[in-house]
Amino acid sequence: MASDDEFILLERTATGETEAFRILFEAHHEAVFRVAFRLTNEREVAEDITQDCFLRLVSNRGRFDPTRGSLRRYLYGMVRNLVLQYWEAHGQDISLGDNCDDDPPATDVLPVDAILTRETVWAVQAALATLPVLQREAIVLFEFEELSLEEVATAVRSDVGTVKSRLHRARKRLRLALSPYWETQTTAGQRSIL
Amino acid sequence: MKSLNDDDLNSLLRVAKISPLTPSPGFTSRVERAYARQFRGTSVWRHLLFGTIRVPIPAVFVASAVLLLAGAALGLLVGQEHGIKRPSGQQNAIANATDHDRPVLNLYGLQPVTELHFRIIRRKHEDR
């Protein structure tokens, strides 16, 4: 859907047109929910944030400028801000995200028992949850939502170099966090072959 | 422990990415109800009475300058209509002509005093 069409739909939501709201919601709510869920790792919180995101989009519709980018990108920025607000309200220190050591402490590595019982999706989700928040949002937007480096930088209000650095650190941490799971998978695979 | 390389990590991320991740079934109707509630809360009249608009700061400065200039221009206009008017040349001539018609004081017709009455005027402290 073109940004201009979305802008017109957004204007129509101002008159209480439920159909216009429904079209916008159907087009974007899954992506918004995915990002919220992968960042918070809590389904209910992700749903609350998604709802809040769309209601704020309607009430502050004048802030969306279709000439500056798509509505999807705008929503990514909104959901990111809402998640940050949620973390701040719940005492999570987001300033630690950028300057963590490349080698995480041992407690950041997922316990083998915990990930042995999970499927790959949940293992990855659990590994994502161990990342510092700024690295997590970078990898969610870049790897899962397939935004370009520039788009990620815009969404997280940073520069491309910083985003690259966060992605590098995030991938290093993910490799370490997912190693136990990977080992069990490959061992099980070798056993099944034998 | 066998560590992952980049390709292994990419394959895991790919699996996680393609798997569906959706909100609970009643979520859509819940959000639509919330939207309907929010819209009821912000009717047109309510918006007209209590709504706010965002105005860029430069626009505020420009609008203020325009208002000041318009006020100054209006003040000048009103001052010209109700202020003191300078007389024109013709009005000056008329004023000079009326000045000549006024009676001139002179000693013509003054009669000498026939009887003098003296009256001494003193201050109070001089009586003591």
Which residues, 6 or more positions from B68, have their beta carbon under 8 angstroms from its beta carbon? Answer: none
Whole-number pLDDT of residue A165: 95
Nearest-angstrom CA–CA distance, A131 and A137: 9
The dihedral sign for the CA sequence A5, A6, A10, A12 = positive
Residue bearing tokens 């009887």:
B115
CA distance B49 to chain A (A): 16
Cβ pair A145, A31 in contact under 8 A: yes
Cα–Cα distance for residue pair B34/B44, rounded to 1 Å:
18
Whole-prediction pTM:
0.62
> Does residue B61 carry a pLDDT above 80?
yes
Taking CA A33 as the corner, what is the angle to CA A32 and CA A35, rounded to the nearest 5 degrees? 70
Stretch A173-185: mean pLDDT: 85
Residues 6+ positions from A78 with CB-CB distance below 8 Å: A53, A56, A57
Q: Who has greater pLDDT, B33 or A99?
A: B33
- The DSSP 8-state label assigned to residue B117 in this structure reads -
Cα–Cα distance between A8 and A65 in angstroms, integer?
11
Report how far residue A104's alpha carbon sits from residue B69's, in angstroms, rounded to the nearest whole number: 65
> Residue A10 corresponds to which tokens in the numbers above?
């957004």
* Residue in the structure block whose two tokens are 């034998």: A194
Residues of A in contact with B5 (CB under 8 A): 175
Q: pLDDT at position B99, please? A: 57
- Predicted confidence at residue B87, as pLDDT, reads 57
pLDDT tens-digit readout, A27-86? 999 999 999 998 888 889 999 999 999 999 988 888 888 888 888 889 999 999 999 899
* Nearest-neighbour CA in chain A from B58: distance (Å): 18
From the list A87, A28, A19, A90, the residue with the least C-alpha distance to A57 is A28
Contact A7, A13 (CB under 8 A): no
Q: What is the mean pLDDT of chain B?
A: 77
Q: Mean pLDDT lowest for which of A42-46, A79-83, B40-44, B86-90?
A: B86-90
A10/A24 Cα distance (integer angstroms): 8
* Residues A140-160, mean pLDDT to the nearest whole number: 91
Instruction: Kindly indicate the confidence band of residue B92, based on its pLDDT and cuts at 50, 70 and 90.
Output: low
Separation CA B69–CA A61 (nearest Å): 35
| pLDDT exceeds cutoff 80 at B33 | yes
- Chain B residues whose beta carbon lies within 8 Å of the beta carbon of residue A186: 2
pLDDT at A116: 43
Name every residue in B having a CB less than 8 A away from some CB of A. 1-6, 8-9, 12-13, 15-17, 19, 21-24, 27-28, 30-32, 34-36, 38-40, 42, 54
What CATH class does A93-194 carry?
Answer: mainly alpha
Whether ipTM tops 0.90, in short, is no
Residue of chain A whose alpha carbon sits nearest to that of B29: A22
pLDDT at A135 (0 to 100)? 93
CA A49 to chain centre: 12
Nearest to B8 among A38, A54, A182 (CB): A182
What are the structural domain ranges in chain A?
1-92, 93-194
pLDDT of residue A29: 93
**A124: distance to nearest CA of chain B, Å?**
7
Integer Cα distance of A108 and A45 in angstroms: 22
* Closest Cα in chain A, distance from residue B22 (Å): 6
CATH (residue range A1-92) = 1.10.1740.10
CB B12 within 8 Å of CB A182: yes
Residues 6+ apart with CB under 8 A from A6: A24, A27, A66, A70, A71
Q: A85-127, pLDDT tens digit by residue?
A: 998 888 766 654 555 555 444 445 554 444 444 467 888 888 8
